[in-house]
Structure 1
């Protein structure tokens, strides 16, 4: 319970009210945000914060709530007194729910007349046609799919999908002038309508960006039967696939009704049936593949790569999860890499039915090195727990590891599985979240300065250095400094983090895996996993060949980094204190203990490489600096990382498993429905037809009615 005069409000918007059988109301759908409200908050302040939360105009919505013991009546907050009353009414509650409702501009006054014909009450009623009601949710969902020049998309497919939805919600047809992986140009099909959009790929990236757009329509954009052609069977399948997964008896009529209610599209029964058929086919193909191919594929991985782990787990509700860790990856991690693991979830562009949970590390050159990965249907605490358990059983080394993640859902499972581990936060995601907190009114120079303060706070090795960076942020915004402190600096700042990151703070796992897996076609899970295996095999071989030419004790990039620090160390003054302890003078005095590999600047302990103060000592006493570098940066360890190869699986390309002995479990049997199957031939154009033969002249190609032979 919060302090008196202050409540925790859950702000909900974008959903629908449902009246229950007892007359009470419940709210479903939409999105929700939490906010603290007290007596000092004015209605204008509250509206301003809600505007930012939901990206609404401050004058376009109203705020309503229910009393603690009354779920049948909505109370409107129209002024500051109403807001204070709401706080008082819910002072003894743990939280209250606030509904943010969009206003409808077109309103009129209607009189309610009693049986006698006399007006008994006057109320404000919304005048909205049935078509308007159907379209409102559609506009809320998809009207912002295309915003204008500068908008970016992950791929050309993502842009086309957004354009498709945007055209549906704005009721116009379009045609492609240019349509390939690098350039997409479309225009309105209406005659003389100037609407046009052009997007092209950014240099060196997969992303597409809108470069030109004329967003003006002169065609009226009236919804017609032509516009319903945008609701293709593949689009319908993509919309209903998730619901069909959990509701197998989802009928075509229900599909049509849902699309009518939610998206304002009138589909006939045949269109809904074809969309359901395609969605069902895609779902069942995935299930059939898991039944037939994956058990065989797991066995082939273990046979061709002894020591590897390939585990397939199934459940009674036909869900699957696959864990793969090749022996070469496990051995390379345990013998040559830092005890550091990055955890990421990857939504692959080549197969949207599955997500990859990946565990990666970095080699001596700070390049990504995959350790294990798992294919699951969704990211959840349960799936992360299962993945971490499989990883723990696959590793033979002690489990005092350091994990780095972006703090996604489910990763609270790390300390439950790896008890002695440390969990850090990905700096890349921290900075990305930090940038969203910067005020739009600030100049770019101020924003860059704020990001620079945060970067220095990340790499600060001592508490006073960290506090100096926070003060720099606080000088511009006290609220922003408090936000930074609320993100738990002990999980990301070198000044407080207990684990060892060896100077590595983020990974490029998502970009690497998506770069490995082609998106030209929708890949099956077996194809996707084998493509990753091929890329791993190629990566191991290439890096092994490259390292054979190295002559230095440290890897090239690390050796260059130490040499750069050596140049800085030449001007430092070294004073021998006692034994292995030295004083080094620059702008301040630092104490170096070469026996314990420690310096009071703490950079040696944090990175695993001697700092410039330690290097100055080595020069002073003529010691070899390579003897004081972490072994994980040596060429020897790098070669151990890539000493083993990932072997080919020669027969993985076959279409399916035909030998039941390959399967470790039986596919669930489904009962055949009564009656004749209604599926049409795959391609009616090649259906075999019986030749027509005349009964009079016995010739082919005509019948007796059209026969021209003499009687």
Structure 2
């Protein structure tokens, strides 16, 4: 192998066994580092290859002084020498004499191509929850008396065997009770005969002629069974892991070296895809286990609300999930909910709908999630119907969204008392896409944030003078939905300026008492900046105090003048007690060890029907005009 071959990470003994077999094919210098993960009681092996005149291997001991790994499945003709011993101990203190023989035979080992330069050959670990086919390379072979649960299982084992030993087979007989295959080369005596026993559907191997009478070259000319699903199974079990850092090119190189199969990029890509499905499960398995998963989530998290909607054929339509921690934490949030949807990637696509709130520290607080087919009248109406179980309709409630017409219809039908507002981010994005002019855009942002009607009127008239078309668009968008001054409910903002900054500015104001409840606050002697503060009713003529539920700079100045603690002027949503109460509960994972009722486990949930859209799908998301501008 080339001297610059990158390191290879393997996570189990089967993979290590496969790489050790290369010593019979190529001249290697093998450096092995074995580390122990005490938490998971699993070991990780690090391999580094380089070309040498003679095969040579070295082991660097784990830094854990209590490490006592066992390696009885391997045997090397060349002993392992320690060349990097950090404790200056002699290499004689390690005994590597109990290694078993390599599982590959010389006659079946392929002549491997040289390592290409600049190829990523790293394999990092990933965890999976499903049971996978557990095989040792030497146990792939067939034997008389073996039992297989079905004919498909037997056929899969035969395909693994043919790829492993580089030949192919033809099916001679295939019935519900009998299965006979033979080598595809005419006259070869290799054959397997299997049949069922009694009423059982299991297949038993009756006859196995394991010797090929054809030439090795001839029988290896048809690698028909080397399909991505079979190669993915072999790769997952014997060659490497399928973590996100593994790329298709690495998979192709590993399979070519071990099995001598030519791998193009797309075949390597599909092989890696199948290997990951073995490790993580298929999307179809995810839909099948969804009812059980929702049941376990509800059991682990009291007060959790879940809903699963399927059609008359048992196919998935919608799912709704609100964790108990979110349900019980929402009363400590601002009475405003932001809803939105985003596209999902994957085989079955779909749309993720979310409902979010804002805590007293201006951070996002998740309330509920739903997966639907697309954003339309039915899906949004269903989502708000489920959301109403957690958040009842109320005049003090504000629901903020984009300008999607289906959202507006659903809010009017399900939440008639709540105030609906338009997210200014989406409004700005539409304006930048349709209208030009930075000055007009700046005025729109300023108009949306005004606290007093007089200020808004002046700015809106200025927009009309500069850009009449934009002024018309903003009117059609309904100023009650996107402006703070016209909005009937409590809007959610991304954050407010620093309170300490307001305290500093308040010290420069002139304060004069009017009566027991009212205080006059102004900048210097100018009467144009005069504001009147009522600390009892928590109001100010600037309108900021009552809308933000936080003391404005004028209220802070009046509070300091009247010896009133400004902290008591804040809404309770900004108190630390509310913030602690909002996050008092935790979201617990599902306990898979607990049994699931049979009626839940047997509930059908098939994947939804999808129609492939024409054209090539986009891989890169195009940034909006607002994102570019910001």
Task: Give the TM-score taking structure 2 as reference length.
Answer: 0.48
Greater RCO (CA < 8 Å, at least 6 residues apart) = 2
Q: Quick check: which has more Rg, 1 or 2? A: 2
